[in-house]
Structure 1
Amino acid sequence: MRIWVARPEPGAARTAARLAALGHQPLVAPVLALVPTGAALPDGPWSGLILTSANAVRTLDARDRDRFRAHPVFAVGARTGALAREAGFADVRIAGGDARALAGLVAAALPRDAALIHATGTERKAEPGASLAQAGFRVRCCELYSMRPVQELARTVADALEAGAIDAVLHYSRRSATAAQDLTTALGRSGAFRALTHYCLSADVAAPLVTAGIAIHFVPERPDEDALLAGLSASR
Structure 2
Amino acid sequence: MRILLTRAREDSERTAKKLAALGHEAVIAPVLRIAPTGDPIPAGACDALIVTSAHGVEALSSYADKDIPVFSVGERTTDALRATGFTSITTAEGDAESLSRLIRDNLQPPRRLLHVTARHHKEEPAASLRAAGFTVPSWEAYEAEAAPALPEAAVEALRTGKIAAVLHYSRRSADLFVQLAGRAGLQSAILGCLHLCLSADVSAPLAAAGAATRIAGGPHEDALLELVRGL
- Bin for the TM-score computed over the shorter chain: over 0.9
Q: Does 1:175 align with 2:172?
A: yes
Unaligned segments of structure 1, at least 5 residues: none
| Alpha-carbon offset, residue 42 of structure 1 | 2.1
Q: CA RMSD in A?
A: 1.2
Counterpart in the other structure of 1:53: 53
2:102 is the counterpart of 1:102: no
Question: What do the CA deviations read for 1:179-221 (whole angstroms, capped 9, x no partner)?
Answer: 11111110111110121110001111111212222221x2112
Q: Whole-Å Cα distance in 1 between the matches of residues 46 and 9 of structure 2?
A: 31
Identity %: 42
Residue 219 (structure 1) aligns with: 215
Q: Which residue of 1 aligns with 2:28?
A: 28
Corresponding residue SS for 1:101:
helix
- Which amino acid is the alignment partner of residue 75 of structure 1? S
CA-to-partner distance for each residue in 1:105-164, whole Å, 9 max, x for gaps? 111222210001001011111111111111111100111111121111100001111221
Aligned twin of 1:63: 62
Q: Is the 8 A contact 2:42 2:137 kept in 1?
A: no
- Write the distance in 2 (CA, Å) between the matches of 1:62 and 1:132: 25
Give CA deviations for 1:47-78 in whole Å, capped at 9, x if unaligned: 000011111113x15332x23x1111101111
- Contact 2:174 2:206 (C-alpha < 8 Å) held by counterparts: yes
* TM-score between both structures, scaled by the size of structure 2: 0.96
**Distance in 1 separating the partners of 2:221 and 2:12:** 12
Tell me the distance in 2 between the aligned counterparts of 1:177 and 1:187. 15
Q: How many pairs were matched up?
A: 231
Equivalences for residues 178-197 of structure 1 within 5 A: 178-197=175-194
**Runs of 4+ with >4 A deviation:** none
Residue aligning to 1:155: 152
TM-score using structure 1 length: 0.94
Q: How far is 1:44 from its partner?
A: 2.4
